[in-house]
Structure 1
Amino acid sequence: MATAQAVTGNLTATERGILTAINSGASSLSLVGSGFIVLCYLLFKELRKFSFKLVFFLALSDMFCSFFSIIGDPSKGYFCYAQGYATHFFCVASFLWTTTIAFTLHRTVVRHKTDVEDLEPMFHLYVWGTSVVMTVIRSIGNHHHGHISHVGAWCWAQRGLTGQARTWHVVQFITFYAPLWGAILFNGFTYFQVIRMLKNATRMAVGMSERGYQSDARPDMKALNRWGYYPLILIGSWFFGTINRMHDFIEPGHKIFWLSVLDVGMAALMGLFNSIAYGLNSSVRRAIYERFDLFPDRFRRLLPRNLRPRGQQQDSELVSLKTEG
């Protein structure tokens, strides 16, 4: 492991090995999922719209976050610091990119603005700049207290007295968990407003249209309901990690194995969850399916149903849904 008894607390060597295996396996799944979305963006020109560009940067951050998590568990020294900081930087960037997606959707649908593409430089400054600042603050705390802390990777807090360890946990909350839960609250509030407005607009459209439109509106409502699950990805990925950090603050050096398993496993799967929810939309499925047009029908039938496009509907695109009276 990256550290000694102070890191793993009361965990045995077998339990530490289990945690390492869980981290490597879950991070590998996230690496494959996010790498697939990055590859689709690079290969398929029709996906290079502004909305999917945000998903591309989200997947790119997840990919590097998963990669540095896989190469974790260094023995000691500067490699452990570099690995811990890189993981921290890209994990912070990941959940910050989700806020830009939520902001873009809200600005387009609720505020009816069409200038979102002009805000791309500001998005990059906000995401990468904030990630750098949080990582620098974290590194100052490491240098001052002389120990390393866990942020979903394998460089955990080591050495130092109990008081110093608790001080570092405060630094960790400030540089990671505070912005994380701020992003969760922002995404939840934003998607709530977007879904409420679009549902009201859809009801009005259905009421003013003939019966035939109602069946066409149902897939749109299903897509809207999916947006409501997006904030739950961050909650599910980091809820147990937050509880685990709180426990570490209260009882430093004493680890609960089952809580550590949920912490490591769910955090490492964040990239996979994001790639499925944000990336594997109807546009991606259509782009993949169209490439199979070059193959005989018997090969195309082998494609899973969830990869086959459903008409021309783009249920996950960040576009403004306009209701005409």
Structure 2
Amino acid sequence: MTMTMATGNLAAHDRQILQAVNGGASSLSFVGSGFIVLCYLLFKELRKFSFKLVFYLALSDMLCSFFSIIGDPSQGFFCYAQGYTTHFFCVASFLWTTTIAFTLHRTVVRHKTDVEDLESMFHLYVWGTSLVMTVIRSIGNDHGHLGVWCWEQRGQTGKVVHFITFYVPLWGAILFNGFTYFQVIRMLNNATRMAVGMSERGYQLDARADNMKALNRWGYYPLILIGSWAFGTINRVHDFIEPGHKIFWLSVLDVGMAALMGLFNSIAYGLNSSVRRAIYERLDLFWPEKLRRWFPCSSKSRGQQQESELVSLKIQDPQ
């Protein structure tokens, strides 16, 4: 998908380098997102609605990475299928991040408890939009076989359609997430100041530290999409301005950062305190007695960490 757009007018050696960068970065994303999918399937305590959305995000990332790794299996049906499926699941990935932002905003800012009832709407929104964008992308495309990746938009119409069907909804998701998390962070900051004003100084320091961790973590979410696709966006704009000239280093950053999106998402969204605690609890079952003497409070400390990370949400409780 993005890789094909980055390789036009490049030497064969440069394409091989891009292919290696894409394969390595996509493999890391596949492993990272696959780990989150596996945790959701294995640990029953994680099957709550909030983490279910993370599961769908990780699943989309895993499939996006998988089809990116496949590259060019053949010229024909499988070649086209690879291109379309990569586009479909990459779009689905950043759309799932908007459902997570919407859920957090509806719960924390608006104090609504009906988010689980919206799951079917989320599926319709994500999969439906991804399908529509993928189908529209076929309009005006001049599919050219490159020998490394399946197809690329050579004509100006195809480039415009690709930009509309991927980068426009992408940056729409970035703006939505940024605005949503800004409101959530502002709400939590106000609530923290109120809680600190009514509590003892010892609790004040703990509350501020705990909430700063939560605010910093949520503030990174919009930056993941920006970091993953900023170079790709610049590369697309440059391709419009100078279609016959490719900048190799920009193409490397384009391909590498886009392929790492699944890894970034798995770390930011997936490796939360609930997942870490579930893993540590399983490890404790097989933890040698001698090692327990060196790390006697591992599970307890992880449990306390999870409770502290929830403080920022608890102070929002309107009850």
Runs of 4+ in structure 1 deviating by more than 6 angstroms, as ranges, are none
Greater shift, 212-221 or 201-210, is seen at 212-221
Q: Which residue of 1 aligns with 2:152?
A: 157
Change over 3 Å in CA distance of 1:319–1:130 after alignment to 2: farther
Conservation of the 8 A alpha-carbon contact between 1:110 and 1:194? yes
Residues in 1 aligned to 2:311 and 2:98: alpha-carbon distance in whole angstroms: 16
Q: CA deviation at 1:36?
A: 0.2
Q: Which residue of 1 aligns with 2:221?
A: 230
Of residues 194, 197, 213, the one that matches 2:187 is 197
Q: Which residue of 1 aligns with 2:158?
A: 168
1:311 and 2:304 are equivalent in the alignment: yes
Q: Which residue of 1 aligns with 2:288?
A: 296
Q: CA deviation at 1:74?
A: 4.0
After superposition, give the CA deviation of every residue in 1:78-130 in whole Å (9 maximum; x if it has no partner).
22211000000000000000000000000001111110000000000000000
Q: CA deviation at 1:297?
A: 4.5
Q: Which residue of 1 aligns with 2:110?
A: 111
Q: Which residue of 2 aligns with 1:67?
A: 66
Q: CA deviation at 1:184?
A: 0.1
Conservation of the 8 A alpha-carbon contact between 1:166 and 1:252? no
Residues in 1 aligned to 2:310 and 2:252: alpha-carbon distance in whole angstroms: 32
Q: Which residue of 2 aligns with 1:271?
A: 262
Conservation of the 8 A alpha-carbon contact between 1:138 and 1:171? yes
Q: Which residue of 1 aligns with 2:201?
A: 211
Q: Which residue of 2 aligns with 1:140?
A: 139
| TM-score (norm. length: structure 2) | 0.89
Conservation of the 8 A alpha-carbon contact between 1:35 and 1:59? yes
Conservation of the 8 A alpha-carbon contact between 2:72 and 2:82? no
Structure 2 residue runs of 5 or longer lacking an equivalent are none
Q: CA deviation at 1:298?
A: 4.4
Number of residues of Structure 1 aligned to a counterpart in Structure 2: 310
Residue type of the alignment partner of 2:143: H
Change over 3 Å in CA distance of 1:323–1:122 after alignment to 2: closer
Residues in 2 aligned to 1:57 and 1:319: alpha-carbon distance in whole angstroms: 23
Change over 3 Å in CA distance of 1:70–1:320 after alignment to 2: farther
| 1:58-97 alignment runs, 5 A limit | 58-97=57-96
Conservation of the 8 A alpha-carbon contact between 2:27 and 2:65? yes
Residue type of the alignment partner of 1:19: L
Residues in 1 aligned to 2:312 and 2:42: alpha-carbon distance in whole angstroms: 21
Q: Which residue of 2 aligns with 1:48?
A: 47
Conservation of the 8 A alpha-carbon contact between 1:81 and 1:148? no
Q: CA deviation at 1:75?
A: 4.8
Residues in 2 aligned to 1:58 and 1:79: alpha-carbon distance in whole angstroms: 25
Residues in 2 aligned to 1:45 and 1:225: alpha-carbon distance in whole angstroms: 28
Change over 3 Å in CA distance of 1:319–1:205 after alignment to 2: closer
Q: CA deviation at 1:166?
A: 1.3
Greater shift, 11-20 or 268-277, is seen at 11-20
Q: CA deviation at 1:296?
A: 1.9
Greater shift, 165-174 or 216-225, is seen at 216-225
Q: CA deviation at 1:221?
A: 2.1
Q: Which residue of 1 aligns with 2:276?
A: 285
Q: Which residue of 1 aligns with 2:19?
A: 20
Q: CA deviation at 1:299?
A: 4.8
Match of 2:71, SS?
coil
RMSD between aligned alpha carbons? 2.8
Q: Which residue of 2 aligns with 1:178?
A: 168
Residue type of the alignment partner of 2:164: I
Structure 1 residue runs of 5 or longer lacking an equivalent are none
Match of 2:140, SS?
helix
After superposition, give the CA deviation of every residue in 1:269-323 in whole Å (9 maximum; x if it has no partner).
0000000000000000000000012122445669xx9xx7251525389966426
Q: CA deviation at 1:248?
A: 1.5
Residue type of the alignment partner of 2:236: R
Residues in 1 aligned to 2:74 and 2:16: alpha-carbon distance in whole angstroms: 14
Residues in 2 aligned to 1:317 and 1:68: alpha-carbon distance in whole angstroms: 40
Q: Identity across aligned pairs (percent)?
A: 80
After superposition, give the CA deviation of every residue in 1:200-227 in whole Å (9 maximum; x if it has no partner).
1011101110112123211222112210
After superposition, give the CA deviation of every residue in 1:131-155 in whole Å (9 maximum; x if it has no partner).
000001012333xxx32599xx933
